[in-house]
Structure 1
Amino acid sequence: MGDYESGTAIFLSIIVGFILLFFIDGLFVYTFTGFLAAYLTRAEVRSAGGGAAASLILAVISFSSGMIFGPQMPGRIAGLAAPDIFTFTTGLVIIGGLSLLLGGIGGYIAVKAFRE
């Protein structure tokens, strides 16, 4: 078990999660990030909320990097596509809620599995 403060544990788990996003599907990575953030935190301050926060931050970073590096589209289709704020907001809210849920589940598993 780690002996880090919650901020450091969240930061380290986000770095590991961002690296894992290149190799594994995002849903598992969000759960693992939440688990890792709770696992690395000191036992007396360990909670599922830290895992949920780490997973949410990773999801927002992943969502915004997906907006910067968008998919490759042919020129005709890209010319027809226009920014849609409703779809953007809905996608951000859905990925945020899903990552909070999965990170909280991962953090809860770590709290229950490694309690002292």
Structure 2
Amino acid sequence: MPGDPYYKSRHWRQLRAARLKLDRDTCVVPGCGKRATTVDHIKRRRDGGADTIANTRSLCREHDDAVKELPDGRRRNGGKLVVKGCFADGSPRDPSHPWFTGGPRGVRSS
């Protein structure tokens, strides 16, 4: 939450930097590859989510917007990331799609 003083704390700045470094400043959504600009709690703090590296993920602006909180406090898509679109070769980006191959190089992500 933007008004939460925790997000101005030294602990958060260090956790955020560590998460971005771990993810090489790249969005963790399979097939995205865009620059990560946000570190997001997977399970929200207000719902008991821990301030740990395991409960955070690096996201690009598009994927962060896909899970942002609505005015009523609920998260869009229930906080789950929805992978849309195709790679340049026309193959789907969504790992759950039956035609998913992992992208132009045909490498499946695990």
| TM-score normalised by the chain length of structure 2 | 0.28
Greater relative CO (CA pairs within 8 A, separation 6+) = 1
Determine which structure has the larger helix proportion and give its number: 1
